[in-house]
Amino acid sequence: MNAPLHHFIESLVVGAPSALGPVTIVPLRSSAASPTVAIALLDDDSARVGEVSEGGVVGRIQVESLTPLPLLLVAGEILRGARQNRQINATLVIPPGEEIQVPVSCVERGRWAYRSGKGFRTANATTPWKMRSRSVRRSLRSKLQRGRHDAEQGTVWADVDAHLSRKQTRSGTSDLLAAMSTELQQQVSAWSPAEGDLGGAFFVGNELVGLEAFGAPAAWKAAAQRVLAGLFEEAAGVKAPEPGSVGADAVSALLQKLTAIEVVSTPGEGMGEELQGETEQTHLAALVAALEPESKASTVHLRVAQMTPAPDRVEERMGARSRRRRERMRTREVSERTRALRSALTRASVPVGGPCLVVAQAVYERLARFRQLPTGLPLPHRSGANLVVWRNPSLYPLLELAELFTELGVPEDEIWSWNGDRSQLESVPPWLEVVSVHRKRVELRGRTP
């Protein structure tokens, strides 16, 4: 195991449990001297947070540090505002005064529009504990396998829908925050950690769901209520455990188990390195960094989640065969559709009547020629006049498609999305021409290079 992480886990001491209704908190503190390193958490004064551009990108936001301290962003924290509410996909530290793009996922599927300004603010809450645990594991696995923190947006939406259904909450925009109970938030705000605590282990009912700890008491004090908000949301409808039925012994056993987990390292999005490791039922995620010049690396954040056992491996292999079969069929379908698209190039213009995404025919053919079109790419709806067009009643899926093209190496200025607003037609890219504007449709064509 990584030396700073091993030392941090070994130094954790378990305190006396504290019961808050269905949630029991077992405090964690260090047997060594408490670290004095200063670190800031996300709030209105510490950072300026917004979309990466006016049009926005679903999977990334822009965070500019406004503090002279290292700025800690915690995986699972919910940000409200801008075009839609998001959750942070990875724990990271931004150096003082720097600006970076942060990987996120949408937790409000039905909105893609500014409502109350163009910035984000912290919702002072993390996503429900188990939803957050699954998201963190997917994101870190993606980082290890593909080099980016992808929490699988479709799965995140499914988790949001399941939680809204569980809480019997209706939301016109499928907003996770709509289900967050104000009554539970009041319970959270009534609690604060003891002086010197670094974190806690948590029971929901009789179940030990995991633990979370920070490298400095001040960081845990600032983050505690956000973490507990997600825990209490997880505990909605769960009965309080019987007195004495949960306690420190299970937490001590979990800590002892952690030191035997083999971890792998990947570069962090900001400062330091990410560590991840797992067994059949336990997932460990940590961030280790040197936060001060000429200082040694230390553990900034540790999160451990008790997970449900992995699915049967035979079922996984059969599922993989089925996916490969579908991919072969999809490849043939894309090839046939591409040939049909070429035959449509004789059109003088392409009519569109609502939200659409447009790329030049040459861009699409280049990707097809080098077999870069992914199997999940939806087939175009129209082509002609040197253009390929995708349509959708909602702009949101089209923006996701634009992000996919960007990941394939297509420059942003070679992708054009239209939300149906006529004023947007006044500034189209150089490769695109608006031929005519009718009452219910617009005629487009591509300019010849």
pLDDT tens profile 385-438 = 889 999 888 888 888 888 888 888 888 889 998 888 888 888 899 999 999 988
pLDDT band at 34 (very low <50, low <70, confident <90, very high): low
The mean pLDDT of 160-187, rounded to a whole number, is 85
Query: Which of 141-155, 245-259, 368-382 is the least confident region?
Result: 368-382
Give the span between the Cα atoms of 34 and 287, in whole angstroms: 18
Whether 266 and 371 map to the same domain: the answer is no
Are the CB atoms for 286 and 1 separated by under 8 Å? no
Whether 112 and 174 map to the same domain: the answer is yes
- On the question of pLDDT at 316 being above 80, the answer is no
- Position 312 scores a pLDDT of 43
pLDDT band at 264 (very low <50, low <70, confident <90, very high): very high
Whether 323 and 289 map to the same domain: the answer is no
Q: For residues 280 and 131, which has the higher predicted lDDT (pLDDT)? A: 131
Give the span between the Cα atoms of 123 and 127, in whole angstroms: 10
pLDDT band at 375 (very low <50, low <70, confident <90, very high): low
Domain boundary residue among 286, 306, 326?
A: 306
Whether 366 and 427 map to the same domain: the answer is yes
Whether 255 and 389 map to the same domain: the answer is no
Whether 269 and 386 map to the same domain: the answer is no
The mean pLDDT of 309-324, rounded to a whole number, is 54
Give the span between the Cα atoms of 51 and 101, in whole angstroms: 9
User: Encoding tokens for residue 344?
Assistant: 């449509």
Whether 54 and 187 map to the same domain: the answer is yes
- On the question of pLDDT at 35 being above 80, the answer is no
pLDDT band at 368 (very low <50, low <70, confident <90, very high): confident
The mean pLDDT of 95-122, rounded to a whole number, is 93
Whether 50 and 195 map to the same domain: the answer is yes
- Position 340 scores a pLDDT of 57
Whether 426 and 366 map to the same domain: the answer is yes
Domain boundary residue among 253, 274, 306?
A: 306
- Position 313 scores a pLDDT of 45
- On the question of pLDDT at 314 being above 50, the answer is no
- On the question of pLDDT at 320 being above 80, the answer is no
Whether 193 and 325 map to the same domain: the answer is no
When the pLDDT of each residue in the chain is averaged and rounded to a whole number, the result is 87
Whether 262 and 336 map to the same domain: the answer is no
- Position 336 scores a pLDDT of 63
Domain boundary residue among 273, 306, 339?
A: 306
Taking the alpha carbons of 360, 361, 364, 369 in that order, is the dihedral positive or negative?
negative
User: Encoding tokens for residue 307?
Assistant: 């997970």
Within 66-134, strands assigned E span 71-73, 77-81, 86-88, 92-94, 99-106, 120-126
- On the question of pLDDT at 92 being above 70, the answer is yes
Structurally, how many domains does the chain consist of?
2
Whether 252 and 374 map to the same domain: the answer is no
Domain carrying residue 61: 3-306
Are the CB atoms for 293 and 277 separated by under 8 Å? no
